[in-house]
């Protein structure tokens, strides 16, 4: 089957309500929402609206969710692609995909472009240059830099990119007028985990007495994605056992299962 160019999402139903915790990050992206909704308010005084921001943090902490929520709050279309797709699927055509993506986003502006795993294309150039595919990656990265420089300050396309390795990125990406803002999206603390549980417990039939503080305390080091997984897994475990509502034990079993999976993934031996 033919690989997709990129995703375009015009349903703007994701909002800041779907993003639990991350108060600081939400405050910072609120400004981006405002740029998209009321650009004249900023340009009237001669200011230049930023073109890009980098969302930096560990996997599963809500970077994609936050970017979608920015588009949802501003009611603008969301164009997205993943850096790893470029490297794996688009050999020979990375640069033209980037050009098409920006063209589409400009035509539908105001809009958001979201590049997940930007490190896959944005690693510092001229390092580890052992294989031919690196030229491909550099061409793609150069096109991205060209596009970001090319669109004027009144284009009203904002590019958000996510990475968990800001340290490996080419410094050219972070230069003024490109991804010159970094927004940190960290693992949740116990209070934030409680809020994330509240979001993901909403659709579940659970026992009235379920103690959410307890669940938050049982899940140190869990990301938002891990918590979403726990909630879903708990519902499946309860259903498998023929229960009418999900209870504390189902959550504990789900936590054990997710911890087991995480340990395998991280090769932690206990």
**Residue ranges at the known binding site for ATP:** 57-64
Work out whether 72 is an interface residue with ligand ATP (CB under 6 A): no
Work out whether 22 is an interface residue with ligand ATP (CB under 6 A): yes
Q: Which of 153, 196, 203 is nearest to 178 (CA)?
A: 153
* In the complex, minimum distance from the CB of residue 198 to ligand ATP, in angstroms, rounded to a whole number: 9
DSSP state of 246: B
Query: How do beta strands 78-82 and 157-163 pair?
Result: unpaired
Q: How far is CA 177 from CA 48, 85, 213, 240, in A?
A: 9, 25, 43, 53
Residues whose CB falls within 8 Å of the CB of residue 252, separated by 6 or more in sequence, listed in order: 218
Write the interaction track for ligand ATP spanning residues 28-47; mark x where CB under 6 A is met and - where it is not: --------------------
Query: Residues within the annotated binding site?
Result: 57-64
Between CA 195 and CA 27 the distance in angstroms is 17
| Part of the chain binding ligand ATP (CB under 6 A), chosen from 16-24, 99-107, 126-134, 242-250 | 16-24
Work out whether 162 is an interface residue with ligand ATP (CB under 6 A): yes
Work out whether 61 is an interface residue with ligand ATP (CB under 6 A): yes
Q: Strand, coil or helix: what is 91? A: coil
* In the complex, minimum distance from the CB of residue 25 to ligand ATP, in angstroms, rounded to a whole number: 9
* In the complex, minimum distance from the CB of residue 116 to ligand ATP, in angstroms, rounded to a whole number: 5
Burial of 209 (0-12, 13-18, 19+ CB in 10 A): exposed
User: Please, are residues 183 and 31 in contact by the beta-carbon 8 Å criterion?
Assistant: no
User: Please, are residues 219 and 21 in contact by the beta-carbon 8 Å criterion?
Assistant: no
Which residue in 228, 231, 237, 238 binds ligand ATP (CB under 6 A)? 228
Residue 50 or 62: the one with the smaller Cβ distance to ligand ATP is 62
Work out whether 69 is an interface residue with ligand ATP (CB under 6 A): no
Contacts to ligand ATP by CB under 6 A? 19-22, 59-65, 116, 162, 164, 196, 199, 224-225, 228
């Amino acid at each position: 089957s033919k690989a997709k160019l990129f995703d375009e999402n015009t349903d703007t139903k994701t909002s800041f309500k779907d993003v639990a915790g991350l108060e600081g990050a939400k405050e910072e992206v609120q400004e981006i929402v405002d740029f998209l909704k009321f650009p004249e308010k900023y340009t009237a005084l001669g200011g230049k609206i930023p073109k890009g921001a980098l969302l930096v943090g560990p996997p599963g902490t809500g970077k994609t969710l936050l970017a979608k929520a920015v588009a949802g709050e501003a009611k603008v279309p969301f164009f997205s692609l993943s850096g790893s797709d470029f490297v794996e699927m688009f050999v020979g055509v990375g640069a033209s995909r980037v050009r098409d993506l920006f063209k589409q986003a400009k035509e539908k502006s105001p809009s958001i472009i979201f590049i997940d795993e930007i490190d896959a294309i944005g690693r510092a150039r001229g390092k580890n240059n052992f294989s031919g595919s690196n030229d491909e990656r550099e061409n793609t990265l150069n096109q991205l830099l060209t596009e970001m420089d090319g669109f004027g300050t009144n284009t009203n396309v904002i590019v958000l990119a996510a990475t968990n390795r800001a340290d490996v990125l080419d410094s050219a990406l972070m230069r003024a007028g490109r991804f010159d803002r970094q927004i940190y999206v960290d693992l949740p603390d116990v209070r934030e985990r409680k809020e994330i549980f509240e979001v993901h417990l909403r659709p579940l039939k659970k026992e009235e007495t379920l103690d959410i503080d307890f669940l938050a305390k049982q899940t140190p080091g869990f990301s938002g994605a891990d918590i979403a997984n726990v909630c879903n897994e708990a519902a499946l475990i309860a259903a498998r056992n023929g229960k009418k509502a999900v209870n504390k034990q189902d959550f504990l079993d789900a936590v054990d299962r997710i911890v087991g999976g995480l340990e395998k993934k991280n090769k932690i031996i206990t």
